Chains A and B, each alone.
Chain A
Amino acid sequence: MNQPIRTIAPETQKIKHLDFPACKKSSGKTGVSIYHLYAPVDEVLRVEFVFDAGIAKQTQRLIATGVNRLLTEGTQTKTAEQIADGLDFYGGYLQTRCAVDDAQLTLYCLKKHLRKCLEIVLDVIKNAQFPDNEIDIYKKNNKQRLKVQQQKTSYLCRKAFYETIFGDTSPISSYSLPIDYENFSRETLVGFHRKYYAETIKYITLAGDVNDDVIEELSQFSSSFNPSQSDNKYSNESIIPESRAVKKEKSTQATIRVGRKIINRSHPDYRKLQLVNLVLGGYFGSRLMKNIREDKGLTYGIYSVLESYLDDGCFYVEADVNNDKTHIAIEEIHKEIDTLCVELVPEKELSTAKNYLLGSLLRSIDGPFTIVDRNRILLDYGFKSNYYDEFIEIINTTTAEELRDLCNKYFKPENLVEIVCGA
């Protein structure tokens, strides 16, 4: 028998091809795009209804999320309970989500119940009524939830960070305050709904056990809408970000964020910058994790993150540490970034990071839902369908010198702000 040799790693192969699976596109009568992807998953379907109704579109805080959440709380003919009961009866799950750049409803259902579920979803999107009673419940309950959030150092730190780097008027830092619930009127909600949901839709995605009948069903559905045209410019004030501390009495740990505003996905440097970020703090084998968690035991987890929005982006390092350890943690973060700015990443570490990044790309296209999620990035940013196949090539050929130069260009410690929230 084949005896194992345990002291030497088995041979491995590099990832050289992705064969990224692109969605197919159909158009309904009115020209609404339906992106679909078949997978051999018996009966299972996910349908996303995506609207240009993100936070970037609101003129008053809380309205975009409020409309999104209250869509399912009553139409001309159905109460909130009847809507929920109707969907549940057919085993459908309808989730709502409102992000900075768009808002959506996601339906999870079995193919045999698709038609029944779509009837309810169409009614909800077209005929949402925003009954006063439901608005009151929403306001009261969310004000209470907000109070709980405001007790969390992670929440307070995140909010302060976005306000610091993007300014108060950016949709990314549009966090609701108790006062926003007072200015929350039915008229504003109805107006926003008319403008961004009732008549137009950005696109529809369809993943799972898709066949011609299913596409036809959605095509019918889409003919109740026109395709929306949208720009994605945020209101932007020029600010000079400054480090600050946010007091949270009696917390046992502090949350720290060190970071800045940065390029988004549309920039040619972005894919390589993802590799720099990965080496610094983007995975378990990163320098920050090894130093601050695995060597010093200062935190349960430390990560660095690149966040991309259609019209902006940011970079930050985040960790929860003991209140009296925030200085050491920040000092070590700066030290790790400084090192990356000066010294070349050793070949072995670089190839590990590359392999890991490409492996995670492979993991992110396992299953129809995540494949569609990846396709949506291409759609939203207007990238070509070979974006991810190119990604492999770009990552495999990035040099240590390029990483050092990018670190200097984007991550230099003197350009970063520090937000500390704790006691």
Chain B
Amino acid sequence: MINYSQFKLKNGLTVIHHLDPNSKLCVLNILYNVGSKDEHPEKTGFAHLFEHLMFGGSVNVSDFDNQLQIAGGDNNAFTSNDITNYYITLPANNIETGFWLESDRMLSLDFSQKVLDVQKAVVIEEFKERYINQPYGDVWLKLLPLAYKTHPYRWPTIGKDFSHIEKATLDDVKAFFYSFYSPNNAILVISGNIDLQTTKELTEKWFGPIPAREINRLHYQTEPQQTEKRIEHVYNDVPLDLIIMGYHICERMHPDYYAVDLMTDVLGGGKSARLFNELLKKQKLFSEIDCYESGDFDAGLIIVEGKLIRGVTHQQAEEAIEKVLSELIENGITESELEKVKNKSETNIRFNDMGVLNKAMKLAYAAYYGDIELANTEVSEYLKVSAHDIQRVAETYLKSTNCNVLYYHAKHESTN
């Protein structure tokens, strides 16, 4: 159980407070409702590049990181398809430094050309390090545009291509800032050893004077229902063949979500899961296999991915996976299998609810989803799922006409 209070400033900033008297720390977590899905299709990767720029100096503070380090604090940030999240951890008695820094960069950035140039170079190196210089690093760059034809989930957060990042200008940066980085487009969570009254005073003092701004969100289309299976072949200099299959699922707030998530555990969550036991252990077709959902707010994907044992063909691998899925669709799951995945979810959730930072992020996400109570009701939502629900969602979503397959072909050396 995570206790919290919630209030809103006049400028529209949503504030959530959680007291943890046992901690010596305080966390300031701010979630901006902007992610890569809000990017222009010709300027992809921008939300993430922008996240880097948020550390490059604000209107009154030139050295964000340095000021935080002086106060003994640390910070980081991440960008997803849906949101951009920034967090600061400080010794509890120095938390005002966090308010100062975080509110100043919401007030306005410094918009420096030098910072933009350097961070473009850094992000391009990040693109290379994670997506090009790694075996299979480009899987998402290939799978997403296969699965999505109109929705902006068709490009990954790093962007379609680093030429988009190279082209970013200071005007783009300013426009993006004023379109999205506003109090009325943000959720602030203060968690740790700080009382509610102090939280209210500090929030009002530092964030209160920042004006609300008009949010300029690009309109985007929902993904039309897929009507036939899509297959693509990729050839690359990797040592093993890989198959990756993506099935469209419901959006995060759809009533089916919890059943879908438990279904991925039945199929792929660890060593007692079906795909692992049937295909890796018994049939020995794969050296690794997993199944998970993509964790998006709009309609996302269930991913099944596996590395093939040398000598197994993509077709064999795909048929074997489909057989496990049809078995689930036709015969459903047993009560004990259901209890198992529920128990696992409960442990998982309870372990995740530890530490002031985890709790802050959980509250921020729940508020972003539009139902802050979710931070506490999640376990009971999983417990409500029935075996029948799981069979039903399997039938609904694991259809072959809903599937996108990438055959990733290795370049095999001539001898073993």
Contact = CB atoms under 8 A, between A and B. Distances in A.
Interface string A276-306: 0000000111000000011111111000000
B296 interface: no
Contacts of A300: 122-123, 125-126, 129-130
B310 interface: yes
A355 B287 contact: no
A372 to B, nearest CB: 13
A151 interface: yes
Nearest to B207: A4
A15 B281 contact: no
Contacts of B208: 1
B117 interface: yes
Given A4-B209, A144-B309, A362-B91, A285 B122 contact: no
Nearest to B237: A250
A352 B69 contact: yes
B133 A285 contact: no
A262 to B, nearest CB: 25
Interface string B222-239: 000000000000000111
B84 interface: no
B96 to A, nearest CB: 4
A140 B287 contact: yes
A393 interface: no
Interface string B42-63: 0000000000000000011100
B94 A252 contact: no
A352 B129 contact: no
Contacts of A13: 91, 93-94
A88 interface: yes
B240 interface: yes
Contacts of B117: 297
B65 interface: yes
B67 A80 contact: no
Given A1-B204, A297-B121, A320-B129, A359 B72 contact: yes
B354 interface: yes
Given A297-B119, A367-B355, A145 B288 contact: yes
A150 to B, nearest CB: 7
B125 A6 contact: no
Contacts of B171: none
Interface string B243-271: 00000000000000000000000000011
Contacts of A85: 272, 340
A355 B70 contact: yes
Given A72-B271, A366-B355, A359 B90 contact: yes
B164 interface: no
B72 A91 contact: no
B187 interface: no
Interface stretch (A38-46, A162-170, A267-275): A38-46
A44 B133 contact: no
Nearest to A81: B277
Interface in A171-187: none
Contacts of B69: 283-285, 352-353, 355-356, 359
B125 A321 contact: yes
B239 A140 contact: no
B10 interface: no
Contacts of B206: 4
Interface residues of A, number: 80
B72 A88 contact: no
B125 A297 contact: yes
A89 interface: yes
A244 interface: no
Contacts of B104: 6
A88 B71 contact: no
Contacts of A75: none
B271 A84 contact: yes
B347 A352 contact: no
Interface string A87-120: 1111111000000000000001110010000000
Interface string B1-34: 1000000000000000000001111000000000
A12 interface: yes
Given A140-B287, A150-B239, A362 B72 contact: yes
Given A10-B96, A10-B100, A300-B126, A41 B284 contact: no
B415 to A, nearest CB: 13
A137 interface: yes
Contacts of A294: 118, 122
Given A253-B125, A366-B23, A151 B239 contact: yes
A88 B356 CA distance: 27
Given A1-B204, A6-B60, A13-B94, A110 B346 contact: yes
CB-CB nearest 10 A-B residue pairs? A359-B72, A297-B121, A91-B343, A84-B271, A147-B239, A141-B287, A84-B272, A91-B347, A300-B126, A144-B287
11 contacts: A6-B60, A10-B100, A12-B70, A42-B1, A44-B350, A80-B281, A113-B343, A285-B66, A295-B118, A359-B69, A362-B72
Interface of B: 1, 22-25, 59-61, 65-67, 69-74, 89-91, 93-94, 96-97, 99-100, 103-104, 107, 117-123, 125-126, 128-130, 132-136, 201, 204-206, 208-209, 237-240, 270-272, 277, 280-281, 284, 287-288, 307, 309-310, 336, 339-341, 343-347, 350-351, 354-356
Given A12-B71, A88-B344, A110-B346, 10 more contacts: A1-B205, A12-B97, A81-B281, A91-B345, A109-B347, A152-B134, A253-B125, A253-B129, A283-B74, A322-B128
